[in-house]
Amino acid sequence: MLIIGLTGSIATGKSTVSSLLSSPPYNIPIIDADVLARKVVEPGTAGYKAIVNYFGPSTPDLLLPADPQTGQRALNRPALGRRVFGDSEERKRDRTILNKVVHPAVRWEVYKSLLYYYLRGQWAVVLDVPLLFESGMDVICGTVVVVAVNDPAVQMSRLRARDPHLTAEDAENRVRSQGDVREKVKKALYRNRASEDTDKGSRGVVVWNDGDKADLAKEVDKAILTIRNYSPRWWSWLLLMAPPVGVAAAVWNMAVNFGLQRSWDQKAKKDRAKL
């Protein structure tokens, strides 16, 4: 089974691409990390308790009013977002703490979902993770698809239109907190470095979303055609019918991705040294 890592930055159109991939003619199952991240911090979970214990004393509005039926107080996500989004040292520290609570729990849910879809014989599954590279989950992906725009101003305008309650500062903090999407594009394309042209190959694919939804649909068609050319359906069936081959392929894929990640880190270090 091919794991397609889907990432981007906030307001680049990743959710729209995810919706297109889960609909005909593709019908690819989606594992949405955002949905799982909400699940693992629901009232009563270990994640919920850890967040309340750390953020509660300094965030008076961290919890919403009690639910009339259950009596439980869910997390006030906008209030938590104000604590962790931004590039100040304090917010970076708080974001690190939050990630240490949420990421391990989300990974466990992801692995359970991957096993479920593998046993159902799916040829591919989309792993929708906004911080795919940052969390290190790209190493388990055979393909990484980055949804990107060329102009950060487009992100800002789309974000403000989608979430009108955000101030300009809040919107800017959220965009910055997920990094420059153009760097994610470079890192995705670097996965194809074995090819003569790093713009070709299926390990790293870019879906540009600077136009309307019709243009985006065409970009998705091109991306899936590229991916299918490198990972045909018969290969997925072989991996399912011969588990030892599947395990060997997964180990080989992770080894290649670890090597690519190490090479990218070394390249980034050299580039910073030149500045």
Q: Which residues pair with 127 in a beta bridge?
A: 5, 31
Architecture of the structural domain at 1-29+124-265: 3-Layer(aba) Sandwich (3.40)
pLDDT, mean of residues 191-207: 74
Q: 274 falls in which pLDDT band (50, 70, 90)?
A: confident
Q: 124 falls in which pLDDT band (50, 70, 90)?
A: very high
pLDDT, mean of residues 106-127: 92
Residues 6+ apart with CB under 8 A from 250: 140
CB 17 within 8 A of CB 213: no
Mean pLDDT of the chain: 88
Residue 174 pLDDT exceeds 90: no
pLDDT, mean of residues 209-229: 92
Q: Please report the pLDDT score of residue 119 as a whole number.
A: 86
All CATH 3.40.50.300 domain ranges in the chain, comma separated: 1-29+124-265
Q: Please report the pLDDT score of residue 268 as a whole number.
A: 82
Could you check whether the bond before residue 25 is cis, i.e. omega within 30 degrees of 0?
Answer: yes
Q: Please report the pLDDT score of residue 144 as a whole number.
A: 96
Q: 1 falls in which pLDDT band (50, 70, 90)?
A: confident
Q: Please report the pLDDT score of residue 40 as a whole number.
A: 94
pLDDT, mean of residues 65-90: 88
Torsional sign, CA 81, 84, 86, 91 = positive
3-state SS, residue 32: strand
Q: 199 falls in which pLDDT band (50, 70, 90)?
A: low
Residue 53 pLDDT exceeds 70: yes
pLDDT, mean of residues 48-62: 92
3-state SS, residue 222: helix
Q: Please report the pLDDT score of residue 275 as a whole number.
A: 64
- Distance, in Å, from the CA atom of 34 to the CA atom of 15, rounded to the nearest integer, reads 10
Q: Please report the pLDDT score of residue 87 as a whole number.
A: 79
Q: Please report the pLDDT score of residue 200 as a whole number.
A: 63
pLDDT, mean of residues 132-141: 90
* Residue predicted with more confidence, 151 or 258: 258
DSSP secondary structure string for all residues of 241-270: H-HHHHHHHHHHHHHHHHHHHHHHHHHHHH
Q: Please report the pLDDT score of residue 134 as a whole number.
A: 84
Q: Which residues pair with 7 in a beta bridge?
A: 146
Residue 235 pLDDT exceeds 60: yes
- Distance, in Å, from the CA atom of 48 to the CA atom of 149, rounded to the nearest integer, reads 34
What the block records as the tokens of 5 is 């890592």
pLDDT, mean of residues 165-187: 79
DSSP state of 109: H
> Measured between alpha carbons, how far is residue 119 from residues 82, 194, 204, 252 in Å?
40, 31, 26, 20
Q: 167 falls in which pLDDT band (50, 70, 90)?
A: confident
Q: What kind and span of H or E run contains 7?
A: strand 2-8
